[in-house]
Structure 1
Amino acid sequence: MNKRFTWGKLKLQMTLYLLLSFMLSVVLFWLLQTASEDYLNRAFIVNNQETTGIMDFKKYVADKNISLDDQQAIKNWVREERYINLYIYKDNQLVYATDGYTSITDHDKSLLSIILKRGDFVTIEFSNTSAQVYMEYFYEYKYYNTVLIVCVAISLLFFIFIMLLFINKKTSYIEMIESEIKILEGGNLDYPITVKGKGKDELSSLAQSLDEMRKAFKERLKNEEKARAANSELLTAISHDLRTPLTALIGYLDIIEFKKYHTADELTKYIHNSREKAYQIKQLSDKLFEYFSVFNFDDEELELEHFDGNQLIEQLIDEQLLILQHNGFHFELVSCSTPFEIKIHLISIRRVFDNLFSNIIKYANPAKPVIIRYQVNKESLFIQIENHINTEMQSRNSTGIGMKTCKRIIEDHNGQISVTDNQNIYSVYIQLPLLNNNIERNINQD
């Protein structure tokens, strides 16, 4: 199937350079030919050859002992000379002519009288008689042809030279890109691809695309390295957090199995402790499963649903406030009265709230109120959850799995989440994008 011809930028440049080179070559040819012809018209070398032409013929006749009747020998000499016309007269009769005349006409008689007056006849002794010889010289055509060939050759070389300049510019750029790609192949992704004339032609576009690909690949490797480091850190923390309760659980079970307790109360205590450690291990394993369930589906997009923002946020917060109250916490809720709409993946966002409020129950000071605020502007929903840290806790060990999971979920919603920990006050800030339907009008109405 024939491909449709398209005019790319590089093809257009090549065509323009071709036309420009051709025009410059034609101008150069015209200048060279004009100057050369002018020089030949004034050159003394032609006149000198006109003088030597008749002498060469005279010498040829003498050396070859040519008779006036041997016209074939005379014709051979004329053929070799090429750039003359020869006329031989005997007793005012034309006996030989290059153009084939064998008799003189009335016009030739008048021409003959003019030549005789000018003295252009030269008498040459043939082997059998003497005769008057007249020559017409066209030696300049010999040089004109040579000059024409030279001018054409110079113009052609000039044309090739200009085209090679353009081609060399492009091939040098291609070689530069090739060498830079080899540097990238060697692993140096910090080396930039040179982009000459952004968008100027297909080569510059190719270089720009390669450089963008280099940046994207570098960023991807950077993210993968960060992910590997985070996973390594996570596994280290998990292994430590799992080993501690697991070791204790095994110890309690060994005491129970080998009956190293002394009283029934001690047995009950060991069973209770074993049960607590088992639940602790279960919580850690649930967190780990939740983390990997979020982070192992990079390529899957969340199926977002459309919700009334006020109803949704109030419902999510109310669910958590009941749990806070059950665990002895007080709270302050600062809500938003502006109507807004939002698209989210409900299960994932509920998981975020579960993690955040679970951390509050674990690490917050129940004597201080938990403050929850949410508000909207033209583009975003802002949620702030603030609590005082329980300073009476002996240790606050955490693997950070919950916050990593929350961060990933919020980012999948094209939002942002940040944490501050200042003066025993722990604050979480969440920003989520809103639907733009009538939000500006609703804000203005308020």
Structure 2
Amino acid sequence: MRDDLKRVKQKLSWTFAIAIIGTCAVFGILYYLGIDWLNFYIEGSSLLIYDNEKPYVDEFQQYVTDNDVSTTDIEQYDEWMADHDVSFYSIEKEGKIVYSKSNVDKLIAPAKNMYDYRMAGSYQISVNFSDTDAYVFIYTGFTEKYYIAFMFFDVGFSLMMGIVFVYLRIRKIIAGYQTELEETQSREKKARQEKDELMRNMAHDLRTPLTGLMTYIDIMKIENEADEENQKYLDIVTDKVMNIKTQMDNLLDFSMASSEKNIELDKPIEAEYAVGDYLSEMYAVLRDKGYTIDIEKIKWEKQNIAVNIGLISRVFTNLTDNICKYADMDKTVVMETSFSKNDFKVKIGNGICDDKTLLESTGIGLKSVDMMMLRMNGSMSYSREHGMFWVKLEFPIVK
């Protein structure tokens, strides 16, 4: 598990590293190609600059005329340029730049090319000053929006490509692990099925010699009927063989309950008919064993439950065997039933014997009961209270 997590972290680290490098590479390539294309577009489209510049030059001409401004009145036209938020302007007289000024120095680099009077020369417009005519170029950042828009596009597109790459890569990683997980689950499912099949086959195979052994023991009991000591030993052997048979039955129950095969429930019937016979059978077996049984709290209502007859039979057989093996003969076995809005409950309690404990067992009987109840959409729980061991079975009411 730790190795798998380490591999995932490594793959994700490489994915993000490649994504960052790739995003930067895409950004750089698009930037240089895009900037070259924008420069070509802007420089090749004289109307774009002219149409944006001419309204300013016309207004400047009106200002020069109204205020009798000459080319040497730098403060006057400098003030007008500042009031109109002009980024850059230049004035050329007789082929020489007599003045140029940049009011803003934070524009993006490509737009700053418009400050170069050598480039701006082809976009100059004649202005009639009071002393002479001069060529004026006014730039208010009207090409900057194209560069800014391109920068946003470049950043957005590069990030999107990086995100798409990470998304596709993560999907591929997840798909790979899903495939591995499905293959692992398939192998585990096959292994469980083979294990269950082996357990069932072993249980069936062991039943045959156990049955034969029980037959031989019965014969030996008959033949040694007069020998009390042999009878005592044969009774001990009988108990041990029965314990083995019980464990085999529990193993078979556990295998069947844990199997992934679909178990269909029988048609819903009243709770009394669904479990009443099994409680009666348990009562009869325990009474024959010498137990005192309290059934005063058994009551029935006309509520339906759905069970599987094979599973419910084994549930009560397992509970009966547990009581016979571990309960205190001197304490009363209590059987109770109760109904709520959504559940029907069966509670069975027995005294805990000091010299018998469930810890002597593997607990597979109760585990089998729990799993069989789950297969019938019910549940099993147990508790120890005041020297009593209680098992509670809950069945959902079927409306």
What TM-score does the superposition give when structure 2 sets the normalisation length?
Answer: 0.50
Contact 1:308 1:342 in 2 (8 A): yes
Paired position in structure 1 for 2:303: 340
Q: Residues 35 and 336 (structure 1 numbering): CA distance in 2 closer, same or farther, change over 3 Å?
A: farther
Which whole-Å CA distance do the structure 2 matches of 1:154 and 1:395 have between them? 80
Residue 407 of structure 1 aligns with an amino acid whose one-letter code is D
Q: Distance in 2 between matches of 1:39 and 1:167?
A: 42
* Selected match of 1:159 from 132, 146, 153: 153
Q: CA deviation at 1:153?
A: 4.0
Structure 1 position 325 matched with structure 2 position 283: no
1:409 counterpart = 2:382: no
Conserved 8 A contact 1:329-1:369: yes
1:41-94 per-position Cα deviation (integer Å, ceiling 9, x unaligned): 35763543xx329xxxxxxxxxxxxxxxxxxxxxxxxxxx9889xxxxxxxxxx
| Inter-CA distance 137–151: structure 2 relative to 1 (3 Å threshold) | farther
- The 1:400/1:149 distance shift into structure 2, 3 A limit, reads same
Shift, 1:156, TM fit: 2.3
* Residue of structure 2 aligned with 1:356, choices 296, 314, 319: 319
SS class of match (2:390): strand
1:428 alignment partner, one of 370, 382, 391: 391
Change (3 A) 1:411 1:321: same
Of 90, 103, 114, which aligns to 1:45?
A: 90
2:323 touches 2:350 (CA, 8 Å); kept in 1? yes
* Contact preservation (8 Å) 1:332, 1:371: yes
TM-score by length of 1: 0.46
After TM superposition, the structure 1 = structure 2 runs for residues 300-315 of structure 1, keeping only pairs within 5 Å, are 300-315=262-277
Paired residues of 2:253 and 2:314 also in contact (CA < 8 A): no
Deviation at 1:177, TM superposition (A): 5.6
Aligned to 1:379: 342
Q: CA deviation at 1:271?
A: 6.0
Say how many residue pairs are matched: 264
Alpha-carbon contact 2:300-2:337 (below 8 Å) kept: no
Q: How does 1:45-444 map to 2 (within 5 A)?
A: 45=90, 47-48=92-93, 51-52=94-95, 152-164=146-158, 170=163, 174=167, 274=237, 276-295=239-258, 297-333=259-295, 334-391=297-354, 397-435=360-398, 437=399
Give the aligned partner of residue 17 of structure 1.
Answer: none
Whole-angstrom CA distance in 1 between matches of 2:56 and 2:304: 93
Residue deviations 1:126-167 (CA, integer Å, cap 9, x gap): xxxxxxxxxx99986xx88x9876653443233333444566
Query: Structure 2: where are the runs of 5+ without partners?
Result: 1-41, 43-47, 61-87, 97-120, 125-129, 200-205, 221-226
Q: CA deviation at 1:352?
A: 0.7
1:321 to partner: Cα distance: 1.1
Distance 2:316 2:357 in 1: 26
- C-alpha change, 1:290 and 1:179, in structure 2 (3 Å) is closer
In structure 2, what is the equivalent of residue 205 of structure 1? none
CA spacing shift, 1:358–1:278, aligned 2, 3 Å = closer
Distance 1:161 1:288, change over 3 A: closer
Higher radius of gyration, 1 or 2? 1
Q: How many angstroms does 1:381 deviate by?
A: 0.9
Q: Hey, what's the Cα distance between the residues in 2 that align with 1:420 and 1:360?
A: 14
* Structure 1 segments unaligned to the other structure (5+ residues): 1-28, 54-80, 85-117, 121-135, 186-209, 236-241, 257-263, 438-446
SS state at 2:305 partner: strand
1:153/1:325 CA distance change after superposition, 3 Å:
same
Deviations 1:377-416 (A, max 9, x none): 1101111101112335599721211101001011222322
Once the 2 structures are TM-superposed, how far is the Cα of residue 171 of structure 1 from its aligned partner?
Answer: 5.0
Q: Contact 2:254–2:371 at 8 Å: present in 1 too?
A: no
- The 8 Å contact of residues 378 and 395 in structure 2, kept in 1 or not, is answered as yes
Relative distance call for 1:159 and 1:394 in structure 2 (3 A) is closer
Alignment partners' CA distance in 2, 1:273 and 1:308:
42
CA distance in 2, matches of 1:39, 1:163: 36
Q: Specify whether residues 151 and 322 from structure 1 end up closer, same or farther in structure 2 by C-alpha distance, changes over 3 A only.
A: closer
Note the C-alpha offset of 1:418.
1.4
What is the identity, as a one-letter code, of the residue corresponding to 1:37? E
Q: 1:303 to 1:33 in 2, by over 3 A?
A: farther
SS in 2 for 1:344: coil
Q: CA RMSD in A?
A: 5.4
Note the C-alpha offset of 1:299.
4.7
CA contact (8 A) 2:257 2:375 kept: no
2:73 corresponds in structure 1 to: none
| 1:217-259 residue CA offsets vs partner (Å, 9 max, x unmatched) | 8xx99xx9xxx9xx9xxx9xxxxxx9xxx9xx9xxx9xx9xxx
* CA apart distance, 1:40: 6.7
Aligned 8 A contact 2:383 2:391 in 1: yes
Which letter maps to 2:396? P
- Alpha-carbon contact 2:326-2:357 (below 8 Å) kept: no
